Amino acid sequence: MYLIAFPLLIIPFALYNMVLFLLNLPFTDTVFSLPLWPPDRRMPVSTGEVIVGLALFLLYVEVVKAVRLGGKGFMDHLLALIVFAGMASELALVPQAATPTLLMLTAIGFVDVITGMSVSVRRKRRQVAYEDQDQAHA
């Protein structure tokens, strides 16, 4: 599996930075609109919402990776923590990056870090073997 030890949430974070710093686009621009009922209503979807939606999908993939990996998850968790720290520091230290989109990306990164740690602790607890009393007396 090639996704081991690659933090997937770096993709929406990099996309966020490209939109903000290279393209200078506002995150409120409508990318597309979804039809609603009645047929004359439409819901606009902005650039920031597309990036957050992508991040949520990649968070799901990260959780599946964390659950299925054996002992190779440490580097993945460490890199997820580094990406989260990068998001949080950019949110706190770069004034033009302080947008609700980056706040949501940072929250998603936090959930990724906490989920990875929770899954790894639970996996270690499950690996502890208990002896039956019959085997202990034998």
pLDDT digits (tens, 9 = 90+) for 23-71: 999 999 999 999 999 889 999 999 999 999 999 999 999 888 888 765 5
Q: What is the pTM of this model?
A: 0.82
Structure tokens at 121: 């602790």
How many angstroms separate the Cα of 16 from the Cα of each of 21, 37, 52, 54, 68? 8, 31, 9, 11, 29
Give the domain range for residue 114.
Answer: 10-126
Looking at the domain assignment, is residue 98 inside a domain? yes
Looking at the domain assignment, is residue 4 inside a domain? no
Chain centre distance of CA 90: 16
Phi and psi of 32, rounded to 5°? -155, 175
Looking at the domain assignment, is residue 19 inside a domain? yes
The total number of structural domains in the chain stands at 1
